[in-house]
Structures are given as structure tokens and as C-alpha cells.
Amino acid sequence: MTTHLIRSATLVDGTRADLLVRDGIVAELGTGLSAAGAEVVEADGLLALPGLVDLHTHLREPGGEASETVLTGSQAAAAGGFTAVNAMANSSPVADTAGVVEQVQALGERAGYVTVRPIGAVSKGLAGEQLSEIGAMATSRAKVRVFSDDGHCVSDALLMRRALEYIKGFDGVLAQHAQDPRLTIGAQMNEGALSAELGLAGWPAVAEESIIARDVLLAEHVGARLHICHLSTAGSVEVVRWAKARGIAVTAEVTPHHLLLTQQLIAGGAPAPLDGAYDARFKVNPPLRREEDVLALRAALADGTIDIVATDHAPHTAEAKQCEWAAAANGMVGLETALPVVHQTMVETGLLDWAGVARVLSSEPARIGRVDGHGHAIAAGSPAEFTLYDPAARRSFDTAQLAGKSVNSPYLGRSLPGRVVATFHGRPTVLDGSVLAPEHVSGGPRG
């Protein structure tokens, strides 16, 4: 297998180093390195970041292959600088048995672009009534550690308690999609003056905040780890801040889109081609909120109240999105744009430095999800899981930059900073800004 010499990359602490990658490992890290026959990657001006880890990706396979497959989603992840993703359980069939999670893991290994860690459903069929085969999934070959009914809320308090008790025994974490179903019947956008003006049914902040408040108390009672998916309101931040101060084992994520975009986009005014009102690419669950929510989420990510950024990459076919607002599916693709959006919202604003970015997009998500072999600092002897990022680049985002199967991105036409130049998952998956073809990447376990 080819040896790669990455020359003069900048590490997150600002120092410059050469990296020699051999047999899937960073064999050497230092200055003035050389290796006969190595393929050289000039990284002058490029940041070397630990491979990004997404705790919340929808890969859609099995069952939703028209919008994404494990292969195409893995390619989108690599294009965005990711080396590991956690695949949500709301496939068809639902990932609620050992058989399905092992299938998803095997598809990920066959694709070879990233480590695919399946998330197991909390309840059978995501129906919120009976627990899924949690133990069988945890002890399967897929070693599931993250359990979630994402897309649905585990709304029954007794089921939530039992799930926390069960998952705790496997060092797992329950990732809750916090949305009271009764308070959000028919909801179409954030509830407030704008929803009234546009005539769309409101999605109140309290539907999210009340579930988080209940669940942090249940997690405290059980002594289990709880993770809150996609926080979207300033009030949710306050509840998590209170819980952490109390010592409750809760972690939280925010999506890139909730760090940048507001509900105002639904009324129109986005860059072309999304400039019209009611463009369903802005329809997402939880919904885009107010400017003050965006600012509260950024501040919470900076001060550690929110632990990580997770994409909630949610591919949808054109048919599912290009229809009237009320009928359109919720969700946005986000793997390719996560790092540029965090760059713009957190680094350019001075809220995080690059070491902070590595924390919220790599080491912490790997720790929360127990994703072995990822999230470590770039060091000699460690697995070669990293991405090379050009922070000085800036480009107008278009569909040509999307490596996945679906194009429901809210950033089309928008100028975003930065560019992923290369990604290594043991071996290169992206070089010169292009995702390598499967024959250069796949072929079983990396190495």
C-alpha cells in the first residue's frame, strides 16, 4: 500500500509538521521528513484536523436508497472531512435488531470511506411502545453504544426510564429527539409572530424544552448517560446548563444549520436559487428558529454547555422536497458543509479556535458515541484519521460540491469559507478536493 508524505501541514496548536502515513498509521510526525517512493501531498497553508466524527447522520439504507445509500453517504462524509459517522436507526426496516445494525456496519466496511457506526432504535419500529433488542444490538458485532428513535421522540416517560436503565448496563447513551408530539401536531415552522404572519402552524419552543427538562431528571434518577439531539432554542440551552451544573450526565449537540440559519429564510430572501419564499429546503426538524436562538446556541457551544456539532445530514429526493411546504419532508443534507459553517459561525466570530473545532467535531463526538480509533489528536503511532482543510479558501456553494445522492442543501448559492482538500481514513478517501473512486478506497477493513 502506498506511503504518503504530507508536507508542512499546520496542526491545531499552530505548529507545522510533516506526516508520514504508512499502513494506515501516522508512522512519523516531525519536520523535514522524507521517504523514498512516498506520494507527496503539499500541505503548506493547510490545517491538519483530526478526522471529523458525526454523531447524527441519516444514511437511509436499508430502504431509502433513492435518497442516499451507505456508500454515497460515506462519500459525502469523506468530502466533508469526516472519518466516522453514526448512522441513525430510522431506516426501513428500522435498525432495531442485531441483524439490521450488523448489515449497516457491513455496508459501511464494504464502502470503506469512513467508519460507519450504526445507532440502534430505542423502541421497536420507532413506535415508542416496546423496547427494541437493545442488548442484542449492544453485544452484536456492531457493538452499538448509541440508541435513538430520532425522527421520533421517546415521549412515554416509563419507556424512557426503562430504556435509560437498560442502555446504562452497556455503557451506552440514549440520544433523544426532544419533541413533545402532542404540542407539535401539524407543526410547520417555529411558533411566533412570523408563523402567524405566514399562516403556518407553529412549533413551540416549549415542545423541545419540556422534554429535555423531563429527561435530564430521569437521567439523574437512573444515573444514566443522556444525549440531547439538535438543540434549537435558547430555553433548551438554559435547561442543559442547569442540568450540567447539577452534575447530571447529559451531553448536547447543535447542528450547523441551527448555528447559522433563521426562520426568516422561510419568508424568502435567501441567495439564488433558494430566494423564493416557502422553499422547502429550509424545512427541518427541529425548525429554524429566531436570531436570538442562533446566538444563544453559538454562545453555548463556545462555553461547553453544548458539547458537539452534529450534522443531522438528512437526504431527501427532489420529489420529497419540491412540493408545497406542508407536504414536504423535513431535513437538510449537511455533511459536506458542516466544517465551513462551523468555520464561519464559530471561528470567524472568534468564539472557537481550531483546537475547539477539533473538540466539538471530533474528540467529543467520538467520546460520547464510544467510537474507537477516532477523535484522537494527530500523533505518531496513531491511526491515520485526519483531514486537510484550506481555511483561506472561499467559494460559492453549489450542487457540484455535494458528493451525496441528494441535493437538499440550504446553502446553495451561499458563499462559505474553507475547503476540504484531503481526507485520510487509513488511506486517502479525498485528494485534491475530489472524492476518490470506490476502487481506490473499498476492499474491506482499512490498512
Residue nearest Zn ion, Cβ-based: 177
Report if residue 283 touches Zn ion, rule: CB under 5 A: no
- Where do the H-state alpha helices sit in 178-233? 193-198, 205-222
Judged by CB under 5 A, the chain residues 185 through 244 that form the site for Zn ion are 229
Measured from the CB of residue 385, what is the shortest distance to Zn ion in angstroms? 26
Q: Identify residues 371-410 at the interface with Zn ion (CB under 5 A).
A: none
* Least distance in angstroms from the C-beta of 250 to Zn ion: 17
* Minimum separation from the CB atom of position 392 to Zn ion (A): 34
By beta-carbon proximity to Zn ion, the closer residue of 7 and 177 is 177
Q: Cα–chain-centroid distance for residue 100?
A: 21
Decide if 337 contacts 410 (C-beta within 8 A). no
Cell of 56: 447524527
C-beta of 177 vs 359, nearer to Zn ion: 177
Q: Give the span between the Cα atoms of 120 and 131, in whole angstroms.
A: 11
Q: Please give the grid coordinates belonging to residue 307.
A: 458539547
Q: For Zn ion, how many residues bind (rule: CB under 5 A)?
A: 3
Candidates 177, 225, 316, 405: give the one binding Zn ion (CB under 5 A).
177
* CB closer to Zn ion, 58 vs 374: 58
Pair 259, 341: CB distance under 8 Å: yes
Give yes or no for a contact between 290 and 190, defined as CB atoms under 8 angstroms apart.
Answer: yes
Q: How far is the CB of 121 from Zn ion (least distance, A)?
A: 13
Catalytic residues: 312
Nearest CB to Zn ion, comparing residues 253 and 364: 253
152, 155, 156, 162: CA torsion to nearest 10: 70
Span interacting with Zn ion, options 70-78, 101-109, 170-178, 204-212, rule CB under 5 A? 170-178
Binding flag, residue 150, Zn ion (CB under 5 A): yes
Smallest Cα–Cα separation from 160: which of 145, 144, 143, 177?
Answer: 177
C-alpha cell at 147: 440508541
Closer to Zn ion by CB, 49 or 154: give it: 154
- Note whether 336 binds Zn ion by CB under 5 A: no
Q: Distance (Å, rounded) from C-alpha 316 to C-alpha 138?
A: 29
Burial class (CB in 10 A: 0-12, 13-18, 19+), 368: buried
- Residue 237, classed as helix, strand or coil, is helix
Q: What is the nearest approach in angstroms of Zn ion to the Cβ of residue 114?
A: 21
Write out the residues near Zn ion by the rule CB under 5 A. Answer: 150, 177, 229
